[in-house]
Amino acid sequence: MTATETIEHTPTSSANTDHREDFLGLPLPTMGSRAVAAGLELFFFILVALGVYLVEYFLEGNITGFGLSNWWIAFALMALWNGWTYASAQTPQGTLTSHFIADSTGAPAAALTIMVRQLIRFGLLYGIAILVRGVDVAVLVLVGLLAGACMFVAPKRRAPWDILAGTTVVTGFPSGAQLELKPLTSIADLQLDTKRGRQDGRARRLLFVAGLFSVLASALIVWSIFREAAKFVLDDEFSLDILTGIGWFPRRGIFDLWTLFVGTLWITGIAMLVAGPVGLGVAFYLSEYASPRVRRWLKPMVEILASIPSVVIGLFAISFISPSILRNIFGDIGIFSILAAGIGVGVLTVPIIASISEDAMRAVPNELREASYGLGGRRVTTALRVVFPAALSGIAAAFIVGVSRAIGETMVVFIAAGGSGGAIYEADPREPGQAITAAMASLGAGTDSVAGSGLAFQSLYFLGALLFILTLVLNVISDGVVRRFRQVY
C-alpha cells in the first residue's frame, strides 16, 4: 500500500502537474491564448483576402463574376494552406502561436508575424493564380515534376516553402514545420488515448476505405456493363438472328455475333500458335539452359517486348508483317487481314507466356533436377520429363492467361484486321475481319454518333459483357490451376 502511494507521489509526476513553462521556456498557453491565436489567424486571413479583393475591384472596375476568378483560386488554396499549417504547428498544448500569445512580451511579435505571414502567402498564391491561368496543363505538370525532382535531390527538403512562407525571413519567428517539436512524453501519451491514438484510428479507417475501392471498382464495372447490356437484350428489336452469319453492321441494326466470334477465335488461335511455342521455348531456355550471366541479359530483352504498346505492334502488323512476310508466303494478300492481326497479337502474347511459364519452371525445386542428373538423366530428359510435368499446372495457367489476353487485345486487331464500323462474315483468315474487341473499339471511336443510332450504343456494352464474362471465366480457371500448383510444393 505504501508502494502505490510512493508511485503516485513521485517527484517527476508532481513536477509535470506543476509545469508552468513549455519547452520554449514560455508560459503554457491557456484557453484564452489559444482562442486569440486562432482568431488572429482567421482575422488576418479574412482581412488580407478582403483587402486584395477590394484592390482588385478598384483597379479593374469590376470582378469577373463569381466564376473561377484568380481571387477565388487564391482564397481556396489559402484556406487549405492555413488549415495545413494550423494542424502541423500543433504542440501538445495548442498551436505554436498560442505559446507566444500566452507570453505578454511575445504577443505583439506573434500578431505581427501572423499578419505578415497571411499577407505574403495570399500575395504568393494570387501571383501563382494569375500565372497559372492560361498556362498549358502539360507545362504545369512538367514544372511540378521538376520541382519534385529538385525536392528529391535537395538535401533539406523543407527549405523552399518555408522560405517562401516568409516567416523566418521577415520576423525571425519560426513556423511549426521548422521547429523540431519534442512533445513532453507522459504516461498519458503512452496510453493511446491521445492524438497519436486518434491518428492511428484515422489512418486505419482511411486504408480500409482504400481497400474497399477494389470492390467498388468491380461493382462499377459490373453495373455499368450489364445495365446497358440488359437494355440491348431486352429491346424489342433484339432477336436471335444474332448468329446468322451475315456480317456485323451495328449501325444498320445487323448484330451478327457469329462474325465476331469467328474473328476472335481465329485471332486467338493464330496468336497462340505463334506465342505458345516461342514463349514456351524462351521459358525453357531461360530456366533450364541459360547460364546466370546469359539470363541476366536475356530476361530484360523479353521484358522490353512486354513494354512495347499494342498500338505499335498493330502498326508493325500492317507495315511489316503483311507486306514483308505474308506477301512472300501467300502472294496477293491484302494489308489488312485477320492473319496479320493474329500474328501481331501473338507477338504481344509471347512475353506473357514466357514470363509466367518461366516462373513456374523456376519454382520447381532444384532437388528434383539434381535427382534426375544423379540418375544419369540428360538435360533434355530433365527438362522434358522432370521439370515440365512438375511445372505443368503453372504452364497451363500461363497458356490460359495468354488466351485471355489474346481475346482481350484490342488495338492490334483494330488497326490490322481491317474491319471498320462493320465487317462481312469471313471464315478465311487471309481476308479482313472483325473481332469482339475491335468491334467495340470501332463503336467506341465514334461514341457521339453511336448514341443516336438505335441499339448500336447498347451493343457496345453487350459485347463488353461477353468479353468480361469470357475473360473472367478464363482467369478464374487459371487461378484455380495455379492454386493447385501451389499446393504441390
Partner 1 sequence: MAAITTPSEIRAGLEKRRGTNTGGQIFRTLLLVALVLAIAMIGAVLWSVGVDSWSLLIERPWSFLSNPSNSSAELAGVAQGIRGSVTLAAIVAATFPVGVGAAIYLEELADDNFLTRLIQVTVRNLAGVPSIVYGLLGLAVFVQQLRGLTGGPSVISAGLTLGVLVFPVVVITTSEAIRAVPQSLRDAAYGLGATQWEVIRHQVLPAAMPGVLTGVVLSIARSLGEAAPLLVVGAAPFYSTGVKNTLEQLTGAFTALPMNVAVFARLPADTWAAHAAAASVVLLVVIFVINLAAIILRNRISKKLGR
Q: Which of 157, 378, 484, 486 binds partner 1 (CB under 8 A)?
A: 378
Straight-line distance from the first to the last Cα atom of the chain, in angstroms, rounded to the nearest whole number: 60
d(CA 371, CA 440): 52
Does the footprint of partner 1 cover residue 292 (CB under 8 A)? Answer: no
Q: Which of 247, 474, 481, 485 binds partner 1 (CB under 8 A)?
A: 474
Does the footprint of partner 1 cover residue 441 (CB under 8 A)? Answer: yes
Number of CB atoms found within 10 A of residue 7's CB: 9
User: Between 31-60 and 107-132, two packed helices, what is the crossing angle to 10 degrees?
Assistant: 40
Does the footprint of partner 1 cover residue 364 (CB under 8 A)? Answer: no
Q: Which of 13, 88, 224, 449 binds partner 1 (CB under 8 A)?
A: 224
Give the DSSP letter string of 13-40: HHHHHT--B-TTSSBPP-HHHHHHHHHH
Cα of 80 vs its chain's centroid, Å: 25
Does the footprint of partner 1 cover residue 199 (CB under 8 A)? Answer: yes
Does the footprint of partner 1 cover residue 193 (CB under 8 A)? Answer: no
Are 33 and 43 contacting, i.e. CB atoms less than 8 angstroms apart?
no
Q: Which of 143, 192, 371, 488 binds partner 1 (CB under 8 A)?
A: 192
d(CA 337, CA 334): 6
Are 79 and 118 contacting, i.e. CB atoms less than 8 angstroms apart?
no
Are 158 and 177 contacting, i.e. CB atoms less than 8 angstroms apart?
yes
Return the C-alpha torsion angle 392, 395, 401, 403, nearest 10.
Answer: -90
Phi, psi angle pair for 334, to nearest 5°: -70, 165
The least distance separating partner 1 from the CB of residue 42, rounded to whole angstroms, comes to 29
Q: For cell 530456366, name the residue.
A: 287
Are 306 and 312 contacting, i.e. CB atoms less than 8 angstroms apart?
no
Does the footprint of partner 1 cover residue 204 (CB under 8 A)? Answer: yes
The least distance separating partner 1 from the CB of residue 459, rounded to whole angstroms, comes to 12
> Which is nearer to partner 1, 263 or 314 (by Cβ)?
314
d(CA 62, CA 75): 18
Does the footprint of partner 1 cover residue 308 (CB under 8 A)? Answer: yes
Question: Using CB under 8 A, which of the segments 14-22, 58-66, 174-182, 195-203 binds partner 1?
Answer: 195-203
The least distance separating partner 1 from the CB of residue 259, rounded to whole angstroms, comes to 18
Question: Using CB under 8 A, which of the segments 28-36, 54-62, 78-86, 297-305 binds partner 1?
Answer: 297-305
Q: Can you tell me whether residue 254 is helix, strand or coil?
A: strand
Q: Restricting to residues 136-155, which ones interact with partner 1 according to CB under 8 A?
A: 136-138, 140-142, 144
Does the footprint of partner 1 cover residue 196 (CB under 8 A)? Answer: yes
The least distance separating partner 1 from the CB of residue 14, rounded to whole angstroms, comes to 24
DSSP 158: T
Question: Using CB under 8 A, which of the segments 43-51, 84-92, 159-167, 435-443 binds partner 1?
Answer: 435-443
> Which is nearer to partner 1, 10 or 199 (by Cβ)?
199
Does the footprint of partner 1 cover residue 227 (CB under 8 A)? Answer: yes
> Which is nearer to partner 1, 111 or 443 (by Cβ)?
443
Question: Using CB under 8 A, which of the segments 45-53, 117-125, 389-397, 405-413 binds partner 1?
Answer: 405-413
Q: Restricting to residues 15-34, which ones interact with partner 1 according to CB under 8 A?
A: none
Does the footprint of partner 1 cover residue 42 (CB under 8 A)? Answer: no
Contacts of 206 (CB under 8 A, 6+ apart): none
Q: Which of 228, 254, 359, 431 binds partner 1 (CB under 8 A)?
A: 228
Question: Using CB under 8 A, which of the segments 22-30, 96-104, 162-170, 377-385 binds partner 1?
Answer: 377-385
Q: Restricting to residues 86-105, which ones interact with partner 1 according to CB under 8 A?
A: none
As given in the structure block, the three cell numbers for residue 428 are 478465311
HSE, side-chain direction, 13 A CA sphere, residue 340: 35
Cα of 342 vs its chain's centroid, Å: 30
User: Between 31-60 and 70-88, two packed helices, what is the crossing angle to 10 degrees?
Assistant: 160
Q: Restricting to residues 271-290, which ones interact with partner 1 according to CB under 8 A?
A: 277-282, 284-285, 289
> Which is nearer to partner 1, 82 or 442 (by Cβ)?
442
